[in-house]
Homo-oligomer: A and B are copies of this chain.
């Protein structure tokens, strides 16, 4: 595959105009060839119109046909793995094994959705049979199932150049649901983005699909993204990134003449609660796990544990000694972009100068793309008085909050904003003794862990990668796992339709063998009573 440096509109190379930009190798600070050209307003229009036109075909394909498309993309990614990894390594400085793993995660994610739509029960088919004799009024025959929303705008994330970028979770779930996708590439990895886009476009060709089912738009700034989320033909958006950008997109989506669903996964500090029994039993071991988790991927995960509530009691000294030692021994980490590194440096300098915090740091950053690992510590009264201490810092740091009184810790938990995760480290006895804490945390996060660390997000059916604002824009959805498809689907009901004019999912015989709700009962059986028409 060759890089053209241009957007890809419905399978065709655009002729981008305007100021060219390049990716930067964060390991060296050098720019990388080739030049990339921002999409124009016309390109945005063309991509949106082509997506809208593709919906008529793509949105009405069977689950099996769409699954074939997803599997073709997955196979294409696997086949291009070496090229994708090589380019992504230049653009992100992430280690090769991590990127190889991410290609596999990305293609397996597509296959998870392929399996889901091939099986087909996800459409939530419901049939209420007619009751022509009912008094005072007959009941009509009613049948509903989920259908696509329409063209979806996807914003690639910086920290997962494959799994949450062009062919990542948002794209996979939107395509699985029958929605054409337009990706705004993250400007930090335009080459990786173009390569992945070529794989998707080639898969669309191979499957005989209209080109408009997928487009890629390049831009170094925010204009293309703004135009995209405001375009009348775009019916939903998916985004992973910073709070500032995510909230801006939410606001644009809400202010449209026709507001659209805009799922943004933004910021989360992922509180950890070390409970007394565990601290007593295995403080040093917890310190090792915690250090591994907050420095994993240079701390650039949405689920990085960024604050830790630590009781003042037996075991804390061993825990703290180990954690401080590990932090002091930490290498300097190369971050994804000079911009991320600068933000981290600013935030860290502010914290290091804050008299209310005790700090330990690792090896000092050697250049402008590097980050110094840091352990910050404070007292719970300070934390309670200053909610900004719980704000996300994107990079390899964490904040220990020391508390004496359990009540103060519960107050801090109750005062938390929304987060993606909360973690309890404890014994089974701790768990029983802290039901009040769990009840609070259930209302604050999308995922609660017991004796694990929140980094490492499984792509599966039960995963919830979501949570109350500001973790995401809408806590009713997840952006990871098979339930992510629900963000881009809406129910449609057919009333009184003859069998032949109904989608297969809703026909009496249940030709697809899916699970359906018939008159309130969940079953894979056919409709027992033949319905008029």
Contacts and interface: CB of A to CB of B under 8 A. Distances in A.
A128 interface: yes
B494 A448 contact: yes
A492 B439 contact: no
A475 B235 CA distance: 10
A438 interface: yes
A408 interface: no
Interface centre among A432, A496, A519 (most CB of B within 10 A): A496
Interface in A451-481: 451-452, 456, 458, 460-464, 466, 468-470, 473-478
Given A258-B468, A259-B250, A446 B142 contact: no
A127 interface: yes
A272 interface: no
Contacts of A417: 258
Nearest to A449: B495
A59 B440 CA distance: 11
A461 B517 contact: yes
Given A126-B461, A491-B466, A476 B115 contact: no
Contacts of A428: 498, 500-501, 533
Nearest to A441: B492
Interface stretch (A143-151, A279-287, A347-355): A143-151
A460 B142 contact: yes
Interface string A177-192: 0000000000000000
A438 B115 CA distance: 28
Contacts of A470: 258
Contacts of A149: 475-476
A522 interface: yes
A462 B501 contact: no
A464 B138 CA distance: 18
A431 interface: yes
Nearest to A523: B515
Nearest to A139: B458
A529 interface: no
A277 interface: no
Contacts of A476: 149, 261, 486, 489-491
Contacts of A494: 447-448, 450
Interface string A247-274: 0001100110011010000000000000
Contact of A475 (B475, B490, B493): B490
A126 B495 contact: no
Nearest to A464: B493
A451 B130 CA distance: 14
A520 interface: yes
Interface centre among A56, A144, A261, A417 (most CB of B within 10 A): A144
Nearest to A57: B439
Contacts of A119: 520
Nearest to A143: B462
Contacts of A346: none
A75 to B, nearest CB: 21
A137 interface: yes
Contact of A450 (B59, B124, B448, B498): B498
Nearest to A258: B469
20 contacts: A126-B461, A128-B460, A128-B461, A143-B462, A144-B463, A144-B483, A254-B254, A258-B417, A259-B469, A261-B474, A435-B501, A446-B492, A447-B492, A450-B496, A452-B495, A461-B520, A462-B517, A466-B491, A476-B486, A477-B490
Given A140-B452, A250-B259, A431-B501, 19 more contacts: A126-B462, A128-B458, A128-B460, A142-B458, A144-B462, A251-B254, A261-B476, A428-B498, A431-B498, A432-B500, A445-B492, A446-B490, A446-B493, A448-B494, A450-B497, A450-B498, A450-B501, A478-B491, A515-B515
CB-based closest 7 A-B pairs = A254-B254, A464-B493, A126-B462, A142-B462, A447-B493, A449-B495, A475-B490
